[in-house]
Amino acid sequence: MSAPFDRSLTGELAGEVPAEWSVSPQAGDEERVVESALRPHSLHDFIGQPKVARQLALVLEGAKRRGRTPDHVLLSGPPGLGKTSLALIIGSELGTAVKITSGPAIERSGDLAAMLSNLAPGDVLFIDEIHRIARPAEELLYMAMEDFRVDVVVGKGPGATAIPLEINPFTLVGATTRAGLLTGPLRDRFGFVGQMEFYETADLQRVLARSADLLGVELTADGSAEIAGRSRGTPRIANRLLRRVRDYAEVEADGRVTRAVAEAALALYDVDHLGLDRLDRAVLEALVAKFGGGPVGVATLAVAVGEEPHTVEEVCEPFLVRAGLLARTPRGRVATEAAWQHLGRPLPRGGVPLGRVTADPQVPGSSSEVLFDA
């Protein structure tokens, strides 16, 4: 049964793998449309993040009983873990509207002042990537968060006048993937800070079961486990893989997503059993095969795989480090023993470079210096 928000897959079903496919936790524009249909609408339906969900439920229920707006909420964590979903759930639980914007979109303080003045009492203002908000707008936000008032400056130079503008009480929900980039004054004005964690496989299977039901996909338990195990602990990636496996199941199989179908589909899309895609494996292969496991600078490593250093550092490395396949050391990037084993390569004589930070006279060629500088 086809769901109403399915889109045409022309060009993807004739054995052609999309060039842009990856297991990136970032969402594209079309993917956001599908995500909106899969999002939960209440804390009861929200899967995972039990500590944050429980704490947030107490904050919201307490505010409703007092008849006041809740404290401002900051949600921090890697992309794809449900920060936007929780922001929308806050508005749903409070029975108020949610106005959505992003930090980079607010370039001037006047833009923010206009947005705040249009909020109805109790509304939720959600600012995604709030750490990227312009500094003048951020300073205007301080007074709005504390006193529900903004000062609008009229005129320029010595004749400029600040006109105080009262705004309706509101709840600000900020989301950030880089909490360390938030300024102290802004961070301190949030009454509740929730740190989102990566999901366990069992929780991802529950996410997949719910999404499969909404998508009209027949998903078996072993098929769900196979997809969840390759999803990097991220619901967004799990849902994306489910949709791609569904495509394969409908075209190449009988429509049921079993373990065998999931394995075949994910092999076609270059996603291995750890969740590594083509670029991730290219980085590990270059590090191991071309540079003997490292240490090597990120710029040199990027040239070896034909990518920009920023792509390697921001897209590939976080998961490789979390998976224990790569280490960032003062001497450069180093492949761990697990990386050699994952690639099916024998360990070098004398062990992996990570094990010899200082020179070992028993191992020819060992040195405490960086072998390949950036």
Query: Which of 19-33, 294-308, 343-357 shows the lowest per-residue confidence on average (mean pLDDT)?
Result: 19-33
Phi, psi angles (nearest 5°) of residue 211: -65, -40
Note if 336 is an active site residue.
Answer: no
Of 236, 240, 246, 281, catalytic: 236
Exposure on the CB side of residue 133, measured as CA atoms within 13 A: 30
**Architecture, CATH, for domain 199-269:** Orthogonal Bundle (1.10)
Please tell me the predicted confidence (pLDDT) of residue 23.
55
Chain position carrying tokens 């900020």: 174
Note if 96 is an active site residue.
Answer: no
Contact 218, 212 (CB under 8 A): yes
Higher model confidence: residue 108 or residue 58? 58
Please tell me the predicted confidence (pLDDT) of residue 33.
55
Residue 361 pLDDT level (bands cut at 50, 70, 90):
very low
Note if 358 is an active site residue.
Answer: no
3-class secondary-structure state, position 216 = coil
Contact 299, 374 (CB under 8 A): yes
Ordered strands of the 124-128 beta sheet: 98-102, 124-128, 171-176, 73-76, 192-195
Q: How far apart are CA 239 and CA 31, in angstroms?
A: 10
DSSP letters, 13-71, are SSSPPPTT----SS--HHHHHHHHHH--SSTTT--S-HHHHHHHHHHHHHHHHHTSPPP
Please tell me the predicted confidence (pLDDT) of residue 126.
93
Of 69, 84, 176, 336, catalytic: 84
Helices marked H in 269-335 — which ranges?
Answer: 278-285, 298-305, 309-311, 317-322
Of 96, 123, 128, 230, catalytic: 128
Burial (Cβ within 10 Å: 0-12, 13-18, ≥19) of residue 215: buried
pLDDT in tens, 125-134: 999 998 998 8
Q: Residue ranges for the binding site?
A: 38-39, 80, 83-85, 146-148, 189, 199, 236, 328, 333
CA dihedral 243, 244, 249, 251 (to 10 degrees): 110
Contact 134, 107 (CB under 8 A): yes
Residue 336 pLDDT level (bands cut at 50, 70, 90):
confident
Using the predicted structure, report yes or no on whether residue 268 has a pLDDT greater than 60: yes
Q: Residue ranges for the binding site for Mg(2+)?
A: 84
pLDDT in tens, 146-175: 888 887 776 666 766 777 788 889 999 999
CA distances (Å), 50 to each of 85, 302, 341, in order? 14, 38, 34
pLDDT in tens, 79-125: 888 899 899 999 988 888 899 988 888 888 888 888 888 888 989 99
Averaged over 285-312, what is the pLDDT? 83
Query: Which of 23-27, 42-46, 186-190, 208-212 shows the lowest per-residue confidence on average (mean pLDDT)?
Result: 23-27
Please tell me the predicted confidence (pLDDT) of residue 350.
60
Phi, psi angles (nearest 5°) of residue 173: -115, 115
Please tell me the predicted confidence (pLDDT) of residue 353.
56
Higher model confidence: residue 58 or residue 152? 58
Contact 56, 86 (CB under 8 A): yes
Q: pLDDT > 70: what percent of the chain?
A: 81
Note if 83 is an active site residue.
Answer: yes
Average pLDDT, the chain: 79
Using the predicted structure, report yes or no on whether residue 2 has a pLDDT greater than 50: no
Q: pLDDT > 90: what percent of the chain?
A: 12
Of 171, 176, 177, 258, catalytic: 177
**Architecture, CATH, for domain 29-195:** 3-Layer(aba) Sandwich (3.40)
Please tell me the predicted confidence (pLDDT) of residue 28.
53
Nearest Cα residue to 185 out of 139, 148, 149, 147: 139
Q: Residue ranges for the binding site for DNA?
A: 328, 333
Please tell me the predicted confidence (pLDDT) of residue 160.
67
**Pairing label, strands 149-154, 161-166:** antiparallel
Please tell me the predicted confidence (pLDDT) of residue 82.
87
Note if 176 is an active site residue.
Answer: no
Please tell me the predicted confidence (pLDDT) of residue 352.
59
Sequence ranges of the chain with CATH classification 3.40.50.300: 29-195
Query: Which of 13-17, 59-63, 190-194, 292-296 shows the lowest per-residue confidence on average (mean pLDDT)?
Result: 13-17
Residue 338 has a CB neighbour count (10 Å cut-off) of: 14
Give the tokens for residue 312: 């390697």
Averaged over 232-240, what is the pLDDT? 89
Sequence ranges of the chain with CATH classification 1.10.8.60: 199-269
Residue 25 pLDDT level (bands cut at 50, 70, 90):
low
Higher model confidence: residue 122 or residue 365? 122
Of 69, 83, 123, 331, catalytic: 83
Q: Residue ranges for the binding site for ATP?
A: 38-39, 80, 83-85, 146-148, 189, 199, 236
Averaged over 287-310, what is the pLDDT? 83
Sequence ranges of the chain with CATH classification 1.10.10.10: 278-343
pTM: 0.76
Specify the CATH number of the domain 278-343.
1.10.10.10
